[in-house]
Structure 1
């Protein structure tokens, strides 16, 4: 809005708000068992904007729902599932610390996020054994904790232009069983890195963000399955309609660059892709004299899927961070 400055309370946003949930949806996403480390939609508005130094805390609820028809096959632990349906009610939560001292002219942050929640999955049939034995329909649900996700970000500001780079990964400590349909962990480690850009004009209240990255997956030691290299782009655009509220649109593109491999990759290459788009609304509020709060609701409708279940997902974020210093 007109007259805003980077230090205004209505402008400063929140470290860790959009770092979030990376991998634990059981809704047949990509790679082995239809699960990828990167959950599309992870990044969003203001992704590259520097934030106030100090501790912040974010909680994110994600509800994914996706399915694939009876002709779609997904590898899982040496078996092949046919006709997948998955839903989840997942929470990502954890702290972020933003350093006051600049690093290479930018602002550094460290985060550690955990996953908890409930996943449900079902299949029409499972093909097992060298002879292709067919077992009937099956469904499972699990409630518990998922993997851990550390992340490092570095951000720079130059007027209305903001830049960032990040590195994150998966520590596979979550609830996982290769013979189970529903899991809250991946069963293998992964690393992911990328860059981002945010255009934010305080004078007009217009904002556009885009973040792109690559995921390298390590082999799952329980299944001898190594998922390929994944690429992903998340983007968002919004307009402030007041000093506290912004509305806009969000989207993503996910594409697997290299095929799956290893003895457990019985379907061969199995490269996947999917696209998503939907609306968003965000609200900034003053939680106390020293703390700002932020609520964001966004949703995605998926399309163009290949070797991947397709559906929709909803994200609800609640975050608290240090308030911007008031001008003297």
Structure 2
């Protein structure tokens, strides 16, 4: 399969194939709407018109130190450890007719997760009482809904993208639980990206900003955050590329509301890791598989850990 045809088979859905929150990130309960690392190689490259089905699996593990405090289940908890296995499908339609000179696409992220959370101590309860000891919680449940839209422009080796993504709070959530799949509040994320691609080498970077609405059950409002995802790769053949990925997440404004018992709780984290991409034919369809992993460091007010991703893009045709 020629490289040009293989790249063409990646619809706009590949750039918005992952929109599920992780188990121990920033903001309320250590959870943010945006999962850093979801944008990657070839993010701004236009693809084929028609339907596609990106499918994503993410395994993530994070923990805070025994003295690191997080608001969790309406309590201030110490010794947080969290793991999750996430599966998401993003049915996506890419329009054939240009919009403002760009290729337009829309999609909807749907899926579910298994979450597992442990804490070593709870220092305050919802009523102000003090509790000590360890506690465990796990949950299998549906995720929130994630509508997405993007515009992509191509100018030779330069590619540009604008995107927006929303969070509709319909996922599994119960106030007071340590483990929840949904975040129980509306969110809106928007940004832009760039990809340099000369058929042999590639570099992509996507910058975005997230606004969160209040969680009415806990009276907690996450602050506005900024995130930068990047990826670099080199094609070792017409079908295979290898490279590196990374992200930087930084909370710009503090958390608020009566549920924000730790104050503003601004957080940040950085990560880097390897990646592998593979284009192949299966049943007459041009498929794309991407594997990548991130190791986090330089975390502040945020559980730190690692995560691994597998993304499969299946073009469905017009």
Give the TM-score band, short-chain normalised: over 0.9
Equivalent positions of 1:87-98 (< 5 A) are 87-98=83-94
CA RMSD across the alignment: 1.7
Per-residue deviation, residues 163-217 of structure 1 (Å, max 9, x unmatched) = 0000101000000012111111001010000000000002xx1000000000000
Distance in 1 of aligned mates of 2:126 and 2:294 = 37
Q: Which residue of 1 aligns with 2:35?
A: 39
Q: Which residue of 2 aligns with 1:123?
A: 119
Q: Which residue of 2 aligns with 1:223?
A: 218
Of 181, 184, 189 in structure 1, the residue corresponding to residue 186 of structure 2 is 189
Structure 1 residue 131 displacement after superposition: 4.5
Contact 2:6 2:286 in 1 (8 A): no
Of 262, 279, 284 in structure 2, the residue corresponding to residue 267 of structure 1 is 262
Residue 84 in structure 1 maps to residue 80 in structure 2: yes
Of 58, 61, 70 in structure 2, the residue corresponding to residue 62 of structure 1 is 58
**Any unmatched runs of 5+ in structure 2?**
none
Equivalent positions of 1:128-277 (< 5 A) are 128-129=125-126, 131-202=128-199, 205-277=200-272
TM-score, normalization by structure 1: 0.93
| Segments of 4+ moved more than 4 angstroms | 129-132
Per-residue deviation, residues 247-293 of structure 1 (Å, max 9, x unmatched) = 0000000000000001111111100000000000010012243x211
Structure 1 residue 11 displacement after superposition: 3.0
Q: Which residue of 2 aligns with 1:18?
A: 15
Of 272, 296, 303 in structure 1, the residue corresponding to residue 297 of structure 2 is 303
TM-score, normalization by structure 2: 0.96
Distance in 2 of aligned mates of 1:135 and 1:86 = 19
Structure 1 residue 83 displacement after superposition: 1.0
- State how many pairs are aligned: 316
Equivalent positions of 1:289-328 (< 5 A) are 289=284, 291-321=285-315
Distance in 2 of aligned mates of 1:104 and 1:21 = 26
